[in-house]
Amino acid sequence: MDTALPDAPPALPAPSQPVSFAEALRFWLKLGFISFGGPAGQIAIMHAELVERRRWISEKRFLHALNFCMLLPGPEAQQLATYIGWLMHRTRGGIVAGALFVLPSLFILIALSWIYLRFGNVPVVAGIFYGIKPAVTALVLHAAHRIGSRALKNRWMWGIAAAAFVAIFAFDTPFPAIVLAAGLVGHFGARWAPGVFALGGGHGSAAQSYGPALIDDDTPTPPHARFSRSRLAGILAAGLGLWLLAMGMLVATQGLHGTLTQMGWFFTKAALLTFGGAYAVLPYVYQGAVEQYHWFSGAQMIDGLALGETTPGPLIMVVAFVGFVGGWLKQVLGPDSLLLAGALAATVVTFFTFLPSFIFILAGGPAIEATHGKLGFTAPLSAITAAVVGVILNLALFFAYHVLWPQGFGGRLDAVSAAIALAAAAALFRFKVGVMPLLGACAGIGLAVTLLFSQLR
């Protein structure tokens, strides 16, 4: 008779030890330099580091925080880092985690933007961008497909997406109006058909445990994360005070209609409309930066998105490129200080874009901490996400028009750009190629083609 005992389940690792602020700071700094791959890649990196390897937070608490960030306007990965930093080390932890998620990308984009404006006509640089632009067109189309596969669950959502596309393509409807209309449709539609507007494609529930965590499923909410009306009022007052102080300084030094003042006001509004990620707000940025304020051209916006795709940090950091180019071309500090003007404008734009994200997390976090497992989905957000699909599709067509017919429809089709775009789309949709390898390959092709054509002339 076999008396051997059955195999015991593998032992889970010991609970994580308390993390010092200095140790957390080093991690957040590292994350700022390695957070490639867009929101999905950045969230995956944080999950692997914080949940699986370091066990600073449990799977359920991680997903609970992420679901909250998904409901907010703004970059969800940066907000998730802010949330976890705040939960671990109070307000200073949240500010450090969120800021370090952004600052490396800001400095890198300032440097790349300067190279772009200073050496953009050099054949090597021009060739690289020639190959990247068609790839960006494919990336935007892929983003529309990715969001649409999650959001368009029924014919009503398809209808909202189609209506949003027609509104912005045929009638040039402002993006905020589309967001407002979709939100109202979701709000009132949920009363008679709640199943239609239930937000799908969420991040699900925790499927496994990676061992005891520092902030575990049943870890009590720390005192600083408990809801308090006085604390809420203090956070809102501080956030509004910072905004008023910064805007007041711009008005005092630039005037009410100065370029930097207009950028501060415009990107404050943009920060409140980024439901659905960076691709969703790009049409709004285009409408304002290109058509309304003329800070730069549509072709330059494609170049900026290409740079944003190749740097760490949230993709919405493309606004730093917008600010740099606008500050440079508008000569906000005079013709002799173009680099400083661009860097200042990029910093101003970044500040006003991300300030609301910090306020949302620091003010709303305590309420969310009191609702473990109870955070519901919102019908307005579901409808807004569906509308965003139509808006992003319009953006993809806009990019395709500028890339494939650089002289307009009256000119010839750029067959090489079309071939690169088709190959990039096949790589994304069929072979699931990552963003960085795709852009690297397309940049190499563009450079080779440009140098070859220059030799044949």
Task: Count the neighbouring beta carbons within 10 Å of the beta carbon of residue 45.
Answer: 16
In this prediction, residue 370 carries a pLDDT of: 74
Q: Determine if residue 229 is left, alpha or beta; phi over 0 gives left, psi from -120 to 50 gives alpha, anything else beta.
A: alpha
The rounded percent of the chain whose pLDDT value lies above 90 is 42
Q: Does residue 262 carry a pLDDT above 50?
A: yes
Residue 175 CA, distance from chain mean position: 17
Average pLDDT over the chain, rounded to whole?
85
In this prediction, residue 7 carries a pLDDT of: 44
Taking the C-alpha atoms of residue 385 and residue 391, their distance in angstroms, rounded to an integer, is 10
User: What is the band of 41 on the pLDDT scale with cuts at 50, 70, 90?
Assistant: low
The rounded percent of the chain whose pLDDT value lies above 70 is 89
Q: Is 222 helix (H, G, I), strand (E, B) or coil?
A: coil
In this prediction, residue 234 carries a pLDDT of: 95
Residue 53 DSSP symbol: I
**In b/e form, how buried is each residue of 175-192, taking b as 16+ CB within 10 angstroms?**
beebbebbbebbeebbee
Q: Is the dihedral of CA 253, 256, 257, 261 positive or negative?
A: positive
Across the range 98-112, mean pLDDT stands at 94
Q: Does residue 358 carry a pLDDT above 90?
A: yes
Query: Across the strands, what pairs with 300?
Result: none
Lookup: tokens for 266: 């415009």
Residue 205 CA, distance from chain mean position: 23
**CA distance readout (Å), 234 to 181, 221, 240, 298:** 32, 20, 10, 41
Taking the C-alpha atoms of residue 96 and residue 449, their distance in angstroms, rounded to an integer, is 44
**pLDDT tens-place string over residues 47-72:** 888 988 899 998 888 877 876 787 78
Lookup: tokens for 297: 């051209």
Where are the domains positioned within the chain? 103-198+237-456
Residue 184 CA, distance from chain mean position: 24
DSSP secondary structure string for all residues of 345-370: HHHHHHHHHHHHHHHHHHHHHHHHHT
Q: Is 310 helix (H, G, I), strand (E, B) or coil?
A: coil
**pLDDT tens-place string over residues 155-180:** 999 999 999 999 989 998 877 788 88
Q: How far apart are the first and last CA of the chain?
A: 88
Q: Does residue 44 carry a pLDDT above 80?
A: no
In this prediction, residue 70 carries a pLDDT of: 72
**pLDDT tens-place string over residues 367-391:** 888 765 443 345 776 788 788 888 8
Q: Does residue 6 carry a pLDDT above 60?
A: no
Give the dihedral of Cα atoms 54, 57, 58, 61; nearest 10 deg: -160
| Residue 233: partners with Cβ closer than 8 Å, 6 or more residues away | none
Taking the C-alpha atoms of residue 403 and residue 418, their distance in angstroms, rounded to an integer, is 8
In this prediction, residue 269 carries a pLDDT of: 92
In this prediction, residue 377 carries a pLDDT of: 47
Across the range 385-410, mean pLDDT stands at 84
**CA distance readout (Å), 61 to 3, 18, 41, 157, 367:** 42, 17, 19, 30, 14
In this prediction, residue 12 carries a pLDDT of: 47
More confidently predicted of 127 and 91: 91
